Amino acid sequence: MTTVSESEKVLPAPAPFVLPEVKPFWDGTAEGKLLLARCLEDRTLIWYPRPFCPTCASTQVEWVPASGRGTVYSYTVNRRGVADLPAYREAGVYVLAYVELEEGPRMMTNIVDCDPDSVRIGQKVELVFHDTGQGSALPRFRPAAA
Ligand SMILES: [Zn+2]
């Protein structure tokens, strides 16, 4: 029997179910872009991705690329598999976080490429994409280069 150490485990990148109205967002991830919807009426940046404005109900939105820079707003270190998410059952220790984007929205994501116990609130992070292998990629973050 082969034993895989915690550090060798890889966080899975399961493909999302893509609704047609947010296909531009997921197509962007495949091209290495994190796109934010922005209302053309009142300029509200909209998160999570959706084709209407939660502030004024306009359906006139455009997709604009985020910088990919942010800070850790909150996080938790998951040390147990997630029983009802098969892809994550053997994920090992990983970080689930809210990252506040430089543009303002806070997104739920993972902090990767670091010791989970080194993550801190307020830490500067930068965007990375993990390819799902199915025409999309998951936006995640790693500690920003100094
Ligand atoms: Zn609006």
Distance from residue 50's CA to the centre of ligand 1 (Å)? 12
Which pTM was predicted? 0.89
Distance from residue 109's CA to the centre of ligand 1 (Å)? 25
Which structure tokens are listed for 36?
Answer: 């934010």
pLDDT > 80? residue 82:
no
pLDDT bin (cut points 50, 70, 90) of residue 31 is very high
Distance between CA atoms of residues 1 and 49, nearest Å: 44
Distance from residue 19's CA to the centre of ligand 1 (Å)? 21
Distance from residue 40's CA to the centre of ligand 1 (Å)? 7
**% of the chain with per-residue pLDDT over 90:** 82
Which structure tokens are listed for 95?
Answer: 């970080």
Distance from residue 33's CA to the centre of ligand 1 (Å)? 23
Which structure tokens are listed for 103?
Answer: 């543009």
Distance from residue 57's CA to the centre of ligand 1 (Å)? 6
Distance from residue 61's CA to the centre of ligand 1 (Å)? 8
Distance from residue 96's CA to the centre of ligand 1 (Å)? 30
145 or 118: which carries more pLDDT confidence? 118
Question: What class does CATH assign to 68-146?
Answer: mainly beta
Domain with CATH 2.40.50 in the chain: 68-146
Mean pLDDT computed over 7-34: 90
Tell me, what's the pLDDT at 91? Answer: 82
pLDDT > 80? residue 1:
no
- By CB atoms closer than 10 A (0-12, 13-18, 19+), residue 17 is exposed
Residue 109 has phi, psi (to 5 degrees) of -160, -170
- DSSP-derived secondary structure letter, 114: S
pLDDT > 90? residue 9:
no
Distance from residue 47's CA to the centre of ligand 1 (Å)? 12
Distance between CA atoms of residues 72 and 123, nearest Å: 5
Distance from residue 56's CA to the centre of ligand 1 (Å)? 4
